[in-house]
Amino acid sequence: MGRLLAGRLLMDSALVLAWLLLVGGLSEAARRWGYGSEVTRKIVHIGAGQVILLAWWLAVPAWLGVLASVMFGTVALLSYRFPLLPGINSVGRKSLGTFFYAVSIGCSMVWFWPLDQPQYAAIGILTMTWGDGLAALVGQRFGTHPYQIWGEKKSIEGSLTMLLVSYVVVAGVLWSVQGPILATWLVAAIAAVIAALLEAISKYGIDNLSVPLGTAAVCFWLQTVLWGL
């Protein structure tokens, strides 16, 4: 039994590692093809977050997710002093985003895995990766209506992208779990607004923590308290 469990954990870890290597390879290929640092960073930002789906589908134990989170979080902290992750951390402003990214995955698994509700962890992480990632790209490319909150430059176009993508992500995950019922669409709409607001008001990269945990918390509360699902 112990060998079977160890073998499964090894296989799951290998799949996750293979995915991360693929994401890293795509980012490097984009860099070689002449894409800027923002695009290559967002490939990693979006791609790496999909490990939450692998963790959900493979039923990866929470402790393994936390261990990985601690390891990558430690590397992220060291990279702010030493050039360990120059391509990921080069955002041109003070930011702990990479560290908060790692922490958010560990916190999400600690919270929702014991409740047997991994869909909420997936909602939070995917909202952060897809929503924030695409919002940044759209804002930089098409952002003609800028605004600032607490010194952070944003754009209306980027925030609307965050709102729309967040809705699609939340609705998609809830639909896969409970089908196209009314709660699916209403919870997604409310959560999308919260996610867009959290992304807009966050500084120093803390949106990589506030968006996933805040969005997941709102969805969990609405689903369990208001709808009893």
- Which is nearest to 169 in space by CA: 112, 126, 225? 126
- So what's the pLDDT on residue 215? 97
Residue 226 gets the label, from left (phi > 0), alpha (psi -120 to 50) or beta, of alpha
- So what's the pLDDT on residue 34? 77
- So what's the pLDDT on residue 191? 97
Low-confidence ranges of the chain (pLDDT < 50): 92-93
Q: How many domains does the chain have?
A: 1
pTM of the model: 0.89
Range of the domain at 168: 2-226
Q: What's the rounded Cα separation, in Å, for the pair 16 and 100?
A: 20
Question: What is the number of other CB atoms lying within 10 angstroms of the CB of residue 48?
Answer: 22
